[in-house]
Amino acid sequence: MKIRSILKLIVSGVLLLVVGCAGSTKMADSFFKQRNYRQAIVSYRTVLKKDSTNVKAWVKLGESYRAIGELDSANFSFKKAASFKPEDAKIKHLILETDFLSAKKLAKDKTSRWDAVRRLTSVLEKDSTFSPALIERGKLYEELGELNLAEKDYRAAIKLNPQRMDLKKKIELFKNYQRESEAWTKKAASQLQRGRYLKSIEYLKKALTLKPDNERAQYLLHMAKGRYYYKRGSLGRIWDAIGEFGKASALEPRNPEPRFYMAKAYYKKDKRDYEDPIREYQEVVKLAPQSSYAKIARKEIRRLKKLQKVWKRFWKK
């Protein structure tokens, strides 16, 4: 009987010791060092149930969550730690790093790359010298065809680390792309001026393959397509032309050219539609009163208003 009693006492003692250790920081730290992160999470959470102000436990809990890829839980833990020590530089950096990792994870989904860019921008607003975020955002901009923005981020990263030869090579490559893209754009503009719309479109597509953010090439492509559709003449194509001129105008809102051709397209679409072409011609005059477009636009406004009056008189009878 005595032996059984002694064994029960030993077993009870061991169980109490295990339970006590499971809720101790030392045991949790031991699990963390062994990279047994899931068990470390259980232990740190037990510690925090007893003392929710334990900053070290919150930090280690966050690091454990981050180690298994649960970044939202990691960030929550780091922010809890920061609520007790708001000026702690290490905790601030852990939050920054976790935000960066969340953005990087999001970027793996190609449909979410702009969301990832926004998250990285948020990271850089907190610390503009955080080089990994600059490089990652630069890569995303590059993938999205925004080469000017990518170059800007790469240059900022090089300032922080002048040894990044890979980024310097990328910038040189971007310069080559720009030169070639501008050359194709110049050829395309010449073809457009001669009324060779399909050839112009062909050259502009080459320009934009090299440098998708070539805004001049984007504008000219919409104008070339619009003028080609206008020339084709069918009702469906005229609507396409109006759409292309509208896109061109959005890219260069101070340029009267797309509004001028939009007015012509509206009138070609429907010879009894006076309001739309008059409105667009008036916009041309407003944008560039001294231009050759404005000179023609004024004549067209007078002509269309006369026709409009005749049409109204006819229907009153």
Question: Does pTM surpass 0.85?
Answer: no
Of 31, 61, 86, the position where a domain reaches its end is 86
Q: Nearest to residue 263, comparing CAs of 248, 275, 247, 250?
A: 275
How many Å apart are CA 228 and CA 197, to the nearest integer?
Answer: 6
Count of domains in the chain? 2
For 3-17, 83-97, 204-218, 220-234, which range has the lowest pLDDT when averaged over its residues? 3-17
Q: Is residue 61 part of a domain?
A: yes
How many Å apart are CA 221 and CA 228, to the nearest integer?
Answer: 10
CATH number at residue 72: 1.25.40.10
Q: Considering only the C-alpha atoms of the chain, give the largest distance between any 2 of them, rounded to a whole number of Å.
A: 123
Range of the domain at 268: 184-312
Cα–Cα distances in angstroms (integers) from residue 146 to residues 71, 188, 276, in the given order: 28, 21, 35
Cα–Cα distances in angstroms (integers) from residue 161 to residues 18, 129, 135, 269, in the given order: 50, 10, 11, 59
How many Å apart are CA 3 and CA 233, to the nearest integer?
Answer: 106
| Same domain (yes/no): 300, 189 | yes
Q: Hey, CA dihedral for 114, 116, 121, 122, is it positive or negative?
A: positive
Q: Is the pLDDT of residue 10 over 80?
A: no
How many Å apart are CA 241 and CA 234, to the nearest integer?
Answer: 10
| Same domain (yes/no): 82, 192 | no
**Helices and strands per DSSP (H, E), number in the chain:** 16, 0
Mean pLDDT on 103-113 = 94
How many Å apart are CA 262 and CA 249, to the nearest integer?
Answer: 9
* pLDDT for res 223: 98
For every residue of 258-313, DSSP letters joined together read HHHHHHHHHHHH-TT--HHHHHHHHHHHHH-TTSHHHHHHHHHHHHHHHHHHHHHH
Q: Is residue 162 part of a domain?
A: no
Tens digits of per-residue pLDDT, 195-252? Answer: 999 999 999 999 999 999 999 999 999 999 999 999 998 888 999 999 999 999 999 9
Mean pLDDT on 81-92 = 95
Of 66, 86, 106, the position where a domain reaches its end is 86
Mean pLDDT of the chain: 91
Tens digits of per-residue pLDDT, 157-166? Answer: 999 999 999 9
Tens digits of per-residue pLDDT, 161-185? Answer: 999 999 999 999 999 999 999 999 9
How many Å apart are CA 85 and CA 83, to the nearest integer?
Answer: 6
Torsion of CA 148, 126, 72, 117, to 10 degrees: -10
Q: Is residue 152 part of a domain?
A: no
Total length of the chain: 317
Q: Is residue 219 part of a domain?
A: yes
Q: In the structure, what pLDDT confidence band is assigned to residue 23 with cuts at 50, 70 and 90? A: low
How many Å apart are CA 194 and CA 279, to the nearest integer?
Answer: 28
| Same domain (yes/no): 197, 306 | yes
Q: Is residue 19 part of a domain?
A: yes
Percent residues over pLDDT 70 in the chain: 91
Percent residues over pLDDT 90 in the chain: 85
| Same domain (yes/no): 193, 303 | yes
Of 44, 62, 86, the position where a domain reaches its end is 86
Q: Is residue 304 part of a domain?
A: yes
| Same domain (yes/no): 72, 191 | no
Q: Is residue 132 part of a domain?
A: no
C-beta of residue 96 within 8 angstroms of C-beta of residue 74: no
Q: Is residue 105 part of a domain?
A: no
